[in-house]
Structure 1
Amino acid sequence: MKILTAIALIVAVLSGSASAQHPPYDYPPAIEADSPYYRIRYEGSSEPGELAFPVAYTLWVPPGVKQLRGLIVHQHGCGEGSCKSGQTGAFDLHWQSLAKEHDCGLMAPAYEQPEGTDCQLWCDPRNGSDAAFQKSLVDLGEQSGHPELATVPWALWGHSGGGHWAGGMLMLHPERIAAVWLRSGVPLFEQVDGRAIKPHALSPAALQVPVMCNLGTKEGVTDKKGRFAKVWPANQAFFEKMRSRGALIGIAIDPRTSHECGNSRYLAIPWLDACLAALLPARSGDALLSMPKESAWLAGLNVDAANAIAAMPAAKYSGGLASSIWLPNETIAKAWSQFVLDTNVADTTPPPAPRNVRLVDGELTWEADADLQSGIAHFTIERNGKTIATVPSNGKNPFGRPVFQGLQYSDTPAMPLIGMRYTIESSQPAALSDYRVRAVNTAGLVSQSP
C-alpha cells in the first residue's frame, strides 16, 4: 500500500495535480519577503527533465552592499518537514553574519515536495533543480537590483538530500563554487537503496574546491544498524574517492548526533568564512582565487577522535595523504579538533552590541548582528544596571546550543520568527535611559554596553 501511495503521489506531481492531495506550502506573515528579503516561486513542471515540484527561493541581501561578491546557499533536506523548514533559512541571523562579512547574498530554497514522493526529483540537480536555481538567480537579481547575482560564485551548504544536491552541483559546476559543506549527504555515484542512478562525473576542477563532509557518529559510525547507518559508508567512499585524487576535502564527525545538525554550524560557518576569505576576489566579477597551499593543515582520518592523528601543518604531516583530512588553516584545524571531540568550539570574542535601541509605548525594540563565531543565544534586558529579563525567556534547542531564533531539524530558525522586543510592565520606569540591552552569544560571552 505504501509503495502504491508513493507511486500515486509521484504521478500526481508529474501531472501537476499534487496540490489537490497536499495543501500548498504556506508562507507565514512573519516572513513575508520585504526588502532586504526577496522571493521568487516557480510551479512544478510535467515536462521531462524539468523540476517536478514547485519551489520558492528566498534571498537576503546585506543592507548597503553595492555589489555582491558571492552567494551562500543554505539547502534543506528531503521530506515535507525539511522542505518547509527551508522557508526560514534566509532569515537566520547567524548565517546572515557570514554573508555580510563577505558581501554575499544568503539564499534558502524551499522545494515543495509532498510527503512520500521521491526526493531525487529535486536533490539530483540534473532533474531540473539546477536549471530552476540558475533561473532564480537571474530573476532575483533583477528583483533586488543586483544583476551580478546571476554570475557570482557560490558557497553551498546542504543537509541530507541537500548534501546530495550541493555535491551534485559541485560535480556539474566546479568553476562557480568557492566551497561546499555536506551535512549527512554526499553526491551519489552508484545506487540509492538498490535503485540504479546515473553516476556523476568527477572533473579535475572539482578537486580544487574545498569540501567538508560532516555527519553524526550515530549515522553508521557507532550505530551501524539504525535508520541512517548508510550515511557513514557513503561519506567514507566519497571522501576516499576525492582525497585519493588530491581533493581539498575533510571529514568532521559529530560525536553527539545522528541525522540532526546539532552544533555543526559552529564549525561550518568559521570553515566557510576561512574559505571565502581566501577564495573570493576583491572585485565582483573576477575569477575565484586559488586556495593557498602553505596555510593548509592535515589530520589523520580516524573515527575515534581520541586516537586520531592530531592536526598539524601540511609540511609536517607524515601520514598517508590519501587518508588525510584537509583543513584550510591553523585556526580551523584547532576548531575542527575541538568539534570532533565534543563539538564545543571555543570562542573568546564577545558578540556585537545591539543598536538602535528604542522605547515606544512601553515596548523596547532593538537591532543586532549575530556573532560570526557563536551566533546569538539570547538578549538580556537591564534596568538601572540590574538584569530584569532575558529574550527569549527560556531559549531551547533540542539539537544543540540554545539559540535566539531556535532551530529546526535542517538548521533553520523556528517558526514563527522571534522578534527583538520586550514589553515593559506598566509599573516599571518607562524612560529609555533606564534600560540597556545586551547580546549573549552561544559561548556565553556578553556584548559591551551600546
Structure 2
Amino acid sequence: MKSLAALIVVLAAMETAAFAQNAPYDNPPAVEAPYYRVRYEASSQPGKLIYPVAYTVWVPPAVDTLRGVIVHQHGCGEGSCKSGQTGAFDLHWQALAQKHQCALLSPAYEQPAGTDCQMWCDPRNGSDQAFQKALVDLGKRSGHPELAEVPWALWGHSGGGHWAGGMLMLHPERVAAAWLRSGVPLFEAVEGRNIQPHTLPDAALAVPTMCNFGTKEGYTDKESRFKGVWPSNETFFKSMRGRGALLGIAIDPLTSHECGNSRYLAIPWLDACLSERLPEKSGQAIRPMPQQTAMLTPLPVDEAAFTAAVPAGDFEGDLATSIWLPNPEIAIAWKQFVTDSNVADVTPPPAPTNVHLDGDQLTWQADADLESGIAHFIIERDGKTVATVPEKPKNPFGRPLFQGLQYSDTPAVPLATMRWTVEKAEPGQENPYRVRTVNTAGLVSQ
C-alpha cells in the first residue's frame, strides 16, 4: 500500500501545478434559473468541513418532480477543484439528467494549494454532511424540495472517486449507481497516512459500480506517478467482486490520470443503470438491478487483452474476478472502449431549436446527443456552409467538444455560447440562416 500512500500525497500537488484553470474560486459562472447555487464557509468545528465549498445544480426546466440527482465530483488539488465550478453547465451530462428527470449537481471544494484533499474527499470529514445540507438548501431555492430525498447517481474523478466510493459505503441505500474514475475508497490502512479504512456494507454489493482508470496508471506503465491507481483499484475490485458486488472494470487504453473519452462509456452505462434503478415516483425505494441481462468477462491477467463479455449464465470462469456489465448493449460499448476508447454511435444528434437573428447576431439552442455530445455547429445560408462554431473545437484529453474539456471532465472557461456574428439580412427578409449540430462521432443533425 506504500505506492497508494505516495499517490495520495502527490495528487493534489500535481493537479494544482499542471491543470489549474484561470477562473479563481471567487469568480464562478453566474447562475440564474434553471441553475442554482449555495456556498458554505469553512468550519473550525471538529468533524465539519474545513474548506469552503460551493454547490451548483441544474434542474431540467420541464420537470415537475425530480426522480434523482446526478453528482459530478471533481478530483483533488486547486486546479481540479476550480474545474468543478462548471460541471453543472455540461450539456452532455445535462442530456443524461434530462432523460431521467434528474438534477445535475457539481460541487467545487475551495481547497488551497498544498493542503490535504483527504479533508474533503473522505466524506466522513464533513463533506457528507455539507453535501446533504446543500441538497436541502438547493431544493428550497429551486422549488424542488424532493431534491433532499431522491436517489444519487455518483460520478467521481481521482479524489472525487474516493468521495463517491466513500458515499457508497456510507449510504448504499441512497446510491443508484457509482462510476469511480481513478479513485476508490480504501478498505485497508495506509502506512504513514491518517486514513481510516471504510467498512464494506452488504447493501453496497447491490449497487452497480464501475472502476475506470487509465492504462498508464500502473496497469501497463509501472513507473508512472499514478502507478498506485491500479493496485488500489485491484484491491477494491477483489474485495467487492469476491463478495458478489455488481462491479466492473473499464481500463482506458490511451490515458493516464486524465479522463480522456471516458464519458462516452460512463454516460451510456449510467443511462442503463438509471433506467432500471430509479423509482417511478419520488419517495419510493430504489429498484433492484435486474440480473437476467447481466454480462460477464474475465479480468485480464498479466495485461492480457480483454475478451468479449458473455451472458452471466454462460460464464465459465472465476466469478470472484469477473467483470460485471449490466446488459449486452453496454458490453459492446465496453469492449469498444477498452480497445481504443472509440465508443460507436449510429444515431444523429437532435436538431438545434430557436434559431434567431438579431442584427448580425445569430443565436440558437441545442440539446446534446446523449451518446456523443456536441462537437460543433454548422451555420448554413442558402444551403451552403458559411461557418462552423467553434471553428476548431478543442479538447486536449479526447474527442473535440463544443464546450471544451478540463482535467476533471468539466467544460472549459469561459463557457461556450451558442452565438455567431453573421451578415445582416436585408430589411424584411426572413432569417436566411440554418444551424446543424455535429456530435463527436461526426454525425450531423437535421
Bin for the TM-score computed over the shorter chain: over 0.9
1:30-41 aligned at under 5 Å gives the runs 31-41=29-39
For residues 425 and 100 of structure 2, the distance between their equivalents in structure 1, rounded to whole angstroms, comes to 45
Q: Alpha carbons of 1:303 and 1:39: their partners in 2 closer, same or farther (altered >3 Å)?
A: farther
**In the alignment, which of 177, 180, 188 is matched to residue 179 of structure 1?**
177
TM-score (norm 1): 0.92
Give CA deviations for 1:243-265 in whole Å, capped at 9, x if unaligned: 00000000000000000000000
> CA separation in 2, counterparts of 1:216 and 1:43?
35
State the distance in 2 between where 1:51 and 1:426 align: 54
Would the alpha carbon gap of residues 430 and 292 (structure 1) be closer, same or farther in structure 2, given more than 3 Å must change? farther
Confirm whether residue 152 of structure 1 aligns to residue 150 of structure 2.
Answer: yes
Match of 2:387 in 1: 389
> How far did 1:435 drift?
1.2
CA contact (8 A) 1:190 1:196 kept: no
1:195 maps to 2:157:
no
The whole-number CA distance in structure 2 between the counterparts of 1:224 and 1:255 is: 15
Whole-angstrom CA distance in 1 between matches of 2:423 and 2:431: 16
Distance 1:432 1:159 in 2: 47
Q: 2:441 maps to which residue?
A: 443
Supply the distance in 2 between the matched residues of 1:400 and 1:305 (Cα, whole angstroms): 23
User: Are 1:75 and 1:157, in contact at CA under 8 Å, matched by a contact in 2?
Assistant: yes
Cα shift at 1:377 = 0.2
When residues 415 and 294 of structure 1 are mapped into structure 2, their CA distance, relative to the original with a 3 A threshold, is same
Contact 1:298–1:313 (CA<8 Å) still a contact in 2? yes
Matched, 1:26 2:36: no
Given that 2:38 and 2:137 are in contact with CA atoms closer than 8 Å, whether structure 1 keeps it comes out as yes
Paired position in structure 1 for 2:70: 72
Counterpart CA distance in 2 for 1:236 and 1:429 is 67
Deviation of residue 188 (structure 1)?
1.6
For 2:25 and 2:112, the matched residues in 1 are separated by 9
Q: CA deviation at 1:189?
A: 2.1
> Pairwise mapping of residues 31-430 of structure 1 onto structure 2 (< 5 A)?
31-192=29-190, 194-302=192-300, 307-425=305-423
Segments of structure 1 that go 5 or more residues without pairing to the other structure are: 1-5, 7-22
Deviation at 1:341, TM superposition (A): 0.1
Q: Distance in 2 between matches of 1:442 and 1:382?
A: 19
Deviation at 1:309, TM superposition (A): 3.1
| Contact 2:308/2:331 (8 A) holds in 1 | no
* C-alpha distance in 2 between matches for 1:424 and 1:257: 39
Q: How many matched pairs?
A: 425
State the distance in 1 between where 2:439 and 2:302 align. 30
Unpaired runs of 5+ in structure 2?
A: 1-8, 10-22
Q: Distance in 2 between matches of 1:200 and 1:78?
A: 19
| One-letter amino acid matched to 2:66 | L
Q: In structure 2, do the counterparts of structure 1 residues 45 and 300 end up closer, same or farther at CA, with 3 Å as the change threshold?
A: same
CA contact 1:68–1:149 (8 Å) conserved in 2: yes
Q: Residue type of the partner of 1:222?
A: T
Percent sequence identity over matched residues? 72
Partner AA of 2:244 in structure 1 = G
Q: Is contact 1:97–1:372 with CA below 8 Å preserved after alignment?
A: yes
Secondary structure of 1:90 counterpart: helix
Query: Take 1:298 and 1:99, find their aligned partners in 2: how far apart are those partners?
Result: 27
SS at match of 2:416: coil
Q: CA contact under 8 A between 1:359 and 1:431: conserved in structure 2? A: no
Corresponding position of 1:18: none
1:355-384 per-position Cα deviation (integer Å, ceiling 9, x unaligned): 000000111100000000000000000111
SS of the counterpart of 1:295?
coil
